[in-house]
């Protein structure tokens, strides 16, 4: 099963390379599917100028391939951002942050003109929320934010022993059936102490490359 799933991830990572324009700085996500994409980028590294990474882990892997990692402030607006997701709908709304990199992912996605999401078929869902929704919080606000989330109907759990690249904590929220992701994303953003939530709905993906048994399917919103 895991092997077969890895083959699907590799297939979508390969397909994503076609969305990378020549001579560009490409935005790169985080996670096992993004890692396959980084490995594919390594093969075409002479065709790109560099990459902006959404995590320290991805920056390291890019550098391991000899790809120059550029800061977002130096890169400016990016033509394309390629990343995975924990769940995605046919509207290309996503839950992200399983790897805890959601804040930098949301920033790099926001600064990119096109978001290409790369997923194996297991990530496609009708309604978001089975996967616990990650929320990055400022440490001193953890308990307050958790109470506010309970008031919204969720069950927050502190991700034990985990600190984000930004020095913050993650609450993983169970029990939400997310029928209106745009509205919930905004409501969660308005809780004091929340840095970022893992709903990517206000800025959804533009293209989904979905790895299936029958090949890579391309979906657009």
In the chain, what is the greatest distance between 2 CA atoms, to the nearest angstrom? Answer: 52
Gap between the Cα atoms of 36 and 74, Å rounded: 25
Tell which residue, 65, 47, 108, 61, has the closest CA to residue 83.
Answer: 108
- Least distance from C-beta 151 to ligand 5RP, angstroms? 26
Query: Residue 160 contacts by C-beta under 8 Å, 6 or more apart in sequence?
Result: none
CB closer to ligand 5RP, 143 vs 166: 166
- Least distance from C-beta 83 to ligand 5RP, angstroms? 5
48 near 67, Cβ under 8 Å?
A: yes
CB closer to ligand 5RP, 98 vs 193: 98
Which residue among 40, 87, 105, 185 is the active-site one?
A: 105
Q: Determine whether 105 is an active site residue.
A: yes
- Least distance from C-beta 46 to ligand 5RP, angstroms? 26
Tell which residue, 198, 149, 156, 154, has the closest CA to residue 175.
Answer: 154
- Least distance from C-beta 23 to ligand 5RP, angstroms? 26
CB closer to ligand 5RP, 150 vs 221: 221
CB closer to ligand 5RP, 23 vs 72: 72
Query: Residue 56 contacts by C-beta under 8 Å, 6 or more apart in sequence?
Result: 165
Q: For binding to ligand 5RP (CB under 6 A), which residues are involved?
A: 29-33, 83-86, 96-102, 105
Active site positions, annotated: 105
């Amino acid at each position: 099963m895991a092997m077969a799933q890895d083959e699907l991830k590799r297939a979508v990572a390969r397909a994503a390379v076609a969305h990378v324009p020549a001579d560009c700085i490409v935005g790169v996500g985080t996670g096992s599917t993004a890692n396959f994409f980084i490995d594919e980028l390594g093969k075409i590294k002479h065709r790109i100028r560099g990459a902006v990474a959404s995590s320290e882990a991805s920056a390291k892997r890019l550098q391991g391939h000899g790809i120059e990692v550029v800061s977002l402030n130096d890169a400016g607006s990016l033509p394309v951002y390629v990343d995975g997701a924990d769940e995605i709908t046919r509207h290309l709304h996503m839950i992200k942050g399983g790897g805890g990199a959601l804040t930098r992912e949301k920033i790099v996605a926001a600064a990119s003109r096109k978001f290409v999401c790369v997923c194996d078929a297991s990530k496609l869902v009708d309604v978001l929320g089975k996967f616990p929704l990650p929320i990055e919080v400022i440490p001193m606000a953890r308990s307050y934010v958790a109470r506010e989330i309970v008031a919204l109907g969720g069950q927050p759990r502190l991700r034990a022993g985990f600190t984000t690249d930004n020095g913050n904590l993650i609450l993983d929220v169970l029990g939400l059936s997310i029928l209106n992701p745009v509205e919930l994303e905004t409501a969660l953003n308005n809780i004091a102490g929340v840095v970022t939530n893992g709903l990517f709905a206000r800025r959804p993906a533009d293209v989904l490359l979905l790895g299936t048994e029958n090949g890579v399917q391309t979906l657009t919103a």
